[in-house]
Structure 1
Amino acid sequence: MSKFRLKMSRLKGEQVASQFGFEALPVDPFKIAKDESIVVEAKKPDREGMSGCIVFNDDGVGIIYATHIRSEGFRRFTVAHELGHYFLEGHPEEILKTAPVHFSKAGFTQGHSSIEIEADHFASGLLMPTRLTREALYGAPVGLEGIQHLAGEAETSLTSAAIRAAECAPYPMAVVVSQGDQIAYGFMSESFKRLDRLRFLRKGDPLPYTATRSFNSEEENISSRKSICGSTRLAEWFGGEKTIALEEEIVGLGSYGYTLTVLSSDLLAGDPDEFEDEEEKLVASWTPRFAYGR
């Protein structure tokens, strides 16, 4: 899966948000679905195992989203993810090769399934377009508090806001999602990557022996959405030679079953006016493809 394809998926989400008239947060995926004559229904909360599904048939397109995870932000992200399967070029055709119904588990935990990863990036771009995300972050504190502010403004899940913040933050920041003693995935801002020659965190890598690993050893911390803040060093997480001090902000994600860790430092925050706008230029110049059924 190339970075270019993921970027194009995210930019397609941004383009769709603009196309449907959303010039401020929050972007409403339910309204976009309605405007496209896509029927959206909630799944019974006693049925777990998936976050949502999309159905392509002769009568039209339908989306079903899960309700066993109580977060409204996660449900909105799920609907946005399924819209990715509708709007992204090639997704309907790929899905219809096997069946008219496609089940998803949105939230960047789908392993190496290319269309699922692309749909997640579409959803993050749809719900949090680059310009609007930067505007929300510029007026907010560095780290977890800023991510929580973005999640509130965008009405999306904390994890998706954390990932989008790492992509758009004008200061060095990394976010890590973990479960037990293993890493599920991690994202770093471009300025964070430049701090040193860093090791990239991959799915299944063991968590370093930091506050996050200790936090995960107590299930109650995750289920009760407990949060703590500690300190760590860049090299403890990513290797390298520099002993840069970082804040290690940790929060349990409740019924989602994972933990979010935010690594940042007020001392590393730079001037937001220096942040490059290459993606915005790419959005403006990009010609979108047609969606299914058009």
Structure 2
Amino acid sequence: MNNFKKPDSSLWQGRKSNGDLYIHEKVICVDAIKKESAKTFAILSYACDEGVKRNQGRVGAVTGPEAIKKQLAKMPNHLKNNTQFLDVGTVFCVDDNMEQAQQTLAKTITTLLKNNTFPIVLGGGHDIAYGHYNGIFNAIEKDKTIGIINFDAHFDLRANTNGYNSGTPFYQIAEDCKTNNTTFNYLCLGIRDDANDASLFTTANKLGVTVIKNEDFNLHQSKKIQEQISTFINSVDVVYTTIDLDGFSSAYAAGVSAASPMGFSPDIALQCLQTIIKSGKLISLDIAEMNPTYDIDNQTAKLAASIVHTVIHSA
């Protein structure tokens, strides 16, 4: 099944300059992934919201990656000349086969990491996380521990008794950790009581998940939050960060599959992201649940693009 397509250079448009002043002038669309010697970031799209559909959510995130790239393209480029920024293409879902899309995503992530490239994956539903994690797991040494840091309103720890979807990825990862005799290291930032039922809190407790709830996830609690994040990072070898845009308040992110005004703000999220980056352990990142159907004046897409912009200029 062919569920991968080459990057679309027409998405990278913006103001023109004579010196690569904008991201669209810096990005290189590549047909094949190869070993990189210079510092390299790669945008990989996951155009799939089958998991959202199965989870009875609002579909539309399948076009999320394109919306983010269009906004990122217009932003200024401050990268060093020898830093490469690539678009390596899109994994998409064929005939509702989310599992196949996740497998292709995993293989592509593994290839990128083994070729000295930092993946930034744009989604797409949060089922992106299962494929992404497996790609990292297959790329690193087997004695290395992976820490997952999830910015999200939801645990996404639903049991897969009714099949896999956008609400099951971290439960699936936890089950795989049992099978592989590895540790499930999971930190959730921004979890809300009104977005998770009691059974999910019970599951999180049984699995030893570290939780910073939404009411404590703000700049007033910044020092304590940074200490908790640093403690978590120090307990693992590498860090995979996943950002579900529905964790943000709908004041900043209306264009998501499950919007709420009760979410967190960009300032605390970006501050935490800097702490993660400065640790030197972050090896891969994704942004999930961008849904252009419900966006207002492209604000959610711009938020996601700004997060990517921060990462490539800080990592």
TM-score by length of 1: 0.34
TM-score by length of 2: 0.32
Q: Which structure has more RCO (C-alpha within 8 Å, separation ≥ 6)?
A: 2
Q: Choose 1 or 2 for highest CA Rg.
A: 1
